[in-house]
Every structure is written in C-alpha cells, then in structure tokens.
Amino acid sequence: MTGEFLDVVNGRDEVVGRRRRSEVHRLGLKHRAVHVLVFNSRGEVFLQKRSRAKDTAPGLWDSSASGHVDSGEDYDACAERELREEIGLRVAEPPARVARIEAAPETGWEFCRIYRCASEGPFRLNPDEIERGAWFSREKLEHWLGERPADFASSFRAVWRVFNRVA
C-alpha cells in the first residue's frame, strides 16, 4: 500500500505531480479520493468499520467504500474499483455522482467526490480493509454521529454532512 502512487493536485484539483502515497500523507499534499454510499431498498446505508491495521482512521466507521484515486485514474473509475475491492460489489451502472468536497484538514487534504448507489448485498468484505460492516437507518446514524462523532473517520463526517445537504 505504501508503494501506491497518487496524483498531487493544486487548490483547483489540477494534477501538478505524482508521489508515493506515504509521502503525500506525510507532507500533507493535496490529492484525490472517493466515497461511495450504498443504500438498500429500506433507505439504510451500509457502513464499514475500517480495519485496525489501516494507517489512517484505524477501527473507525466510514463510507460503504472509499479510497484514493490512483495516479492517472479518474474519480468515476476509482468509485467502481473501490466498490469491487472493498466490498466485492460489481455494479451494472456506475454509481451516481452526488457532490464534491474541497481538500481540507478534515479530509486529510483530499478532494473528495461523493457517490451513491443501490444494492441489497450481501457483500464480500476485504479483511485487509474492513473489520466489519452493517446497515444503518439515517435516524440511527444521525443519533450516533451526534452522540459519538469520534467513532467515525473525520472524512466520513464531512462526507455525510455534504451528502445530507444535497441528497
């Protein structure tokens, strides 16, 4: 994972270089990521609890699937790849683009694109990425976020705020 290359971007999300993932994080450089929220027919969202072996936000709850946009990859392709790699979901139609978030400390200097798709599961969770996953109603999730925000990755908190404003 530390050998993976990411595009470094400027404040307008334009590629200005390419560095190893570990350097991008260590130096606080702006880069790109995606977050995909998967909803079932009951309107529940599937969240993952990140593996405790992850170098960022270990053991915290996060989007259904999320990850860095690899160097040379576009946001849309990354969204589909992360769904496959993290929860084993292959989608017939690309996830719908919902919103974007500017790079900021809360996102780890990631420009984030937020996507939404529908699935009932079941999912095949990648144990290198995910400890476990579960479905949550919006009401339960809102209550939990209000009571215990530290249970969630900071980028997910930002994603969920934006998602609720636009969706």
pLDDT at 1: 45
pLDDT digits (tens, 9 = 90+) for 114-134: 999 999 999 999 999 999 999
pLDDT at 130: 96
pLDDT at 3: 62
Dihedral in degrees, nearest 10, Cα atoms 82, 86, 89, 91:
-10
Expressed as residue numbers, the domain containing 118 is 5-166
C-alpha triplet 27, 30, 34: angle, nearest 5°? 125
| Mean pLDDT in order along the chain per 10 residues (167 residues) | 82 97 95 98 98 92 97 97 97 95 96 98 94 97 97 97 93
Total domain count, the chain: 1
The C-alpha atoms of residue 36 and residue 153 are separated, in whole angstroms, by 14
CATH code for the domain in which residue 108 is found: 3.90.79.10
Assigned token pair, 119: 């699935």
The 3-state secondary structure of the chain reads: CCCCEEEEECCCCCEEEEEEHHHHHHHCCCEEEEEEEEECCCCCEEEEEECCCCCCCCCCEECCEEEECECCCCHHHHHHHHHHHHHCCCCCCCCEEEEEECCCHHHCCEEEEEEEEECCCCCCCCCCCEEEEEEECHHHHHHHHHHCHHHECHHHHHHHHHHHHHC
